[in-house]
């Protein structure tokens, strides 16, 4: 069968042939229809994520949409190595798939799975969003951030504030549910007065996809917020920088809670349960996400571009 294969860690995976999987007891084989390219997929393929230690050769891809041998259409997560999602066939545990609604197309399902799950887990499992709260999405113009805006509203946020570095893209975020936007400078910074104004009005949850200088400014603004209710700051991604400078006083003098959200902070079974609800919600509200569908044979053309918007989804009609 055809697949995107890692032959050497640190090198671009290759499109080529790989042996078809055979299901063991407790597993099922899936004929793959679509699988999205994500940063998480790239990091695991490079051997740089704690959740994965397979040795080459192995197939790229943590998830996808496909059909079981009995015809059921499913979303699957974490195939058994050396198999992955970016192949014509893969194999997963019976506990690692959920059936998906017929009314949502394959490309959309594959595209929303990672960013949608990330936002839903951060809001519900980590920050414990309460209906009527205010959520600030730091870095809202990419796929992950735009899904976070929509899901925050779907889960009951009364007000969603979105930050981003492109005014036109921020206008697009307003059209999908953001109530207010904050334009960031190219380095991710913004006027302290702008952040202060929003936190004086009350910000309950921050979903941070950027880290770096904007996160530093947001933590400072949250620390200055005089409220009995804590601001829950959830760190999700590091698109701007892997590190920040954090003064101890920012924590000692304020009612702020810092936490992370990702693989390792939530049990796998909870992730699958949330994904099932995400897909059912998509069938009702029609989450919007920009996508670009490409045949798997074009894999090498886009692997190293760093492009996340629109979300690239590979189809197996090679």
pLDDT in tens, 95-154: 999 999 999 999 999 999 999 999 999 999 999 999 999 999 999 999 999 999 999 999
Examine domains 2-104+286-315 and 114-260 and report if their fold is the same.
yes
Closest CA to 59 of 18, 5, 2: 5
Distance CA 196, CA 83 (A): 49
**How far does Cα 15 stand from its chain's mean position?**
25
| 22 band by pLDDT with thresholds 50, 70 and 90 | very high
Q: Higher confidence at residue 52 or residue 206?
A: 206
Q: Which CATH code for domain 2-104+286-315?
A: 3.90.180.10
pLDDT in tens, 238-254: 988 889 998 888 787 77
Question: Domain limits of the chain?
Answer: 2-104+286-315, 114-260
Give the C-alpha distances (Å, rounded to integers) separating 173 from 155, 289, 318.
17, 11, 34
**Three-state SS for 126?**
helix
- CATH class of residue range 114-260: alpha beta
pLDDT in tens, 215-271: 999 998 888 777 667 899 999 999 888 899 988 887 877 788 999 998 778 888 899
């Amino acid at each position: 069968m055809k697949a995107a294969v890692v032959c050497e860690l640190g090198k671009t995976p290759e499109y080529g042939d790989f042996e078809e999987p055979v299901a063991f007891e407790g597993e099922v084989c899936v004929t793959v229809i679509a699988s999205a390219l994500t940063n998480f997929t790239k990091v695991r393929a490079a051997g740089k994520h704690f959740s994965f230690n397979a040795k080459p050769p192995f197939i790229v891809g943590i998830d996808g949409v496909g059909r079981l041998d009995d015809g059921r259409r499913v979303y699957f997560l974490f195939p058994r190595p050396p198999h992955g999602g970016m192949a014509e066939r893969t194999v997963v545990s019976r506990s690692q798939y959920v059936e998906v609604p017929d009314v949502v197309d394959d490309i959309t399902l594959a595209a929303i799975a990672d960013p949608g799950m990330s936002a839903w887990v951060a809001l519900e499992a980590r920050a414990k969003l309460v209906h009527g709260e205010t959520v600030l999405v730091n870095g809202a113009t990419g796929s992950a951030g735009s899904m976070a805006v929509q899901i925050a509203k779907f889960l009951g946020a009364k007000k969603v504030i979105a930050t981003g570095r492109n005014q036109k893209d921020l206008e697009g975020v307003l059209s999908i549910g953001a109530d207010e936007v904050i334009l960031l400078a190219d380095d991710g910074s913004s006027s302290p007065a702008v952040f202060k104004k929003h936190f004086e009005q009350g910000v309950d949850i921050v979903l941070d996809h950027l880290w770096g200088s904007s996160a530093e400014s947001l933590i400072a603004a949250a620390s200055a917020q005089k409220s009995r209710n804590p601001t829950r700051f959830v760190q999700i991604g590091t698109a701007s920088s892997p590190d920040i400078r954090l003064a101890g006083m920012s924590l000692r003098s304020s009612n702020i809670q810092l936490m992370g959200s990702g693989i390792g902070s939530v049990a796998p079974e909870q992730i699958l349960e949330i994904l099932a609800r995400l897909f059912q919600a998509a069938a009702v509200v029609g989450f919007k996400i920009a996508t670009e569908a490409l045949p798997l044979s074009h894999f090498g053309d886009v692997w190293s571009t760093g492009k996340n918007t629109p979300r690239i989804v590979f189809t197996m009609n090679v």
